[in-house]
Amino acid sequence: MSTPDDPHMTDGPTPPRDDAHATPSQARRSRARLLEALRRPSRGQLAGAVLVGLLGFAMVTQVKSNQEDDTFAGLRSADLVQLLNGLNAEARRADKEIADLERTRSELSDSTQRRQAALKRATEESNTLGILAGTLPAQGPGIRIEVTDPKDKVTLNNLLDGVEELRAAGAEAIEFNDEVRVVAQTSFEDAERGVVVDGRRISAPYVIDVIGNPDTLATTLDFIGGFSFDVKASDGDVKVTKLDDVKVTTVTKPSSPDFASPADGQ
């Protein structure tokens, strides 16, 4: 049985530990553990931080929502009706502006289309007139006529008759020897061993490129009393070749009329 003097026996419960009297080494270890926990938080600490952040965000959102909901809370019914009427009027004005803008857009689109169509027609007419007047190069189906004249008996009249027959058959572009474009104003003059066309002397063999319907053009030259008949009668020869693509590259310089002018209103 223990005696009162036994150092392991006490008269009461053990007093709690007072951290205020902890040794310096214990205090340092406590601070180190605290810093370590701040630098490397556990999963539980991270989850708690996220929950606290979400809770704060929800509280701020709720407060703002309550403030917005309170905007019209103090208005009377008459004020609310007046406000609603004003909003309806604004909506009607906005609808009218939208309708006006759509109408303007449609008018501009129609006007642009009309201008584009007019420009397209003007371009097509200009190209057509340029081809017929000889101021633009041309290409298309047609024929190539090769005239040989070994005895120099093919006359200027023979060539002019051939040109007239081609024009009557619908020739749209005619070119001699890749040098001279034949148009309505083209002049022909007789010359020794050849002809002069628009001031340029050309001689046999004559190569005439013609754009038009190949079948019609070829047929119109090959009949009794026609161009081929007359050339062969003059000891010459005519070879006609139908082609899918004939290129007429020479052009004439347009000249301004000396007396004529567009009629009034044109």
Render pLDDT for 196-210 as a digit per residue (tens, 0 to 9). Answer: 998 899 999 999 999
Same domain, 173 and 243: yes
Strand 138-148 to 237-248 pairing: antiparallel
> 110 with 127: CB under 8 angstroms?
no
- Containing structural domain, residue 95: 76-133
For residue 34, what pLDDT is reported? 63
- Of 49-53, 195-199, 214-218, 225-229, least confident by mean pLDDT is 49-53
CATH number, residue 235: 3.30.70.1880
Examine the domain organization and report whether 93 and 158 are in the same domain.
Answer: no
pLDDT at 136 over 60: yes
Show the tokens assigned to 63.
């407060």
Most confident of 68-82, 92-106, 175-189: 175-189
Tell me: pLDDT of 7 over 50. no
Residue 21 lies in a domain: no
Q: Decide if 46 is inside a domain.
A: yes
Least trusted range by pLDDT, from 21-35, 151-165, 234-248: 21-35
Residue 255 inside a domain? The answer is no
Within-domain flag for 101: yes
Query: Within this chain, do residues 147 and 242 fall inside the same structural domain, yes or no?
Result: yes
Residue 180 has pLDDT above 90, yes or no: yes
Which of 207, 200, 199 has the alpha carbon at shortest distance from 159? 207
Last residue of a domain, one of 47, 66, 85: 66
pTM: 0.58
The pLDDT assigned to 213 comes to 95
Q: What is the mean pLDDT of the chain?
A: 81
Number of domains in the chain: 3
Assess whether 129 and 156 both reside in one domain: no
pLDDT at position 80 over 60: yes
Do residues 187 and 220 both lie within one domain?
yes
Rounded Cα–Cα distance for residues 261 and 144 (Å): 37
Same domain, 119 and 195: no
Q: How confident is the model at residue 3 (pLDDT cuts 50, 70, 90)?
A: very low
Question: Does residue 196 belong to any structural domain of this protein?
Answer: yes
- Which pLDDT score, from 0 to 100, does residue 265 have? 63
Residue 264 scores a pLDDT above 90 = no
In a domain, residue 9? The reply is: no
128 and 226 within one domain = no
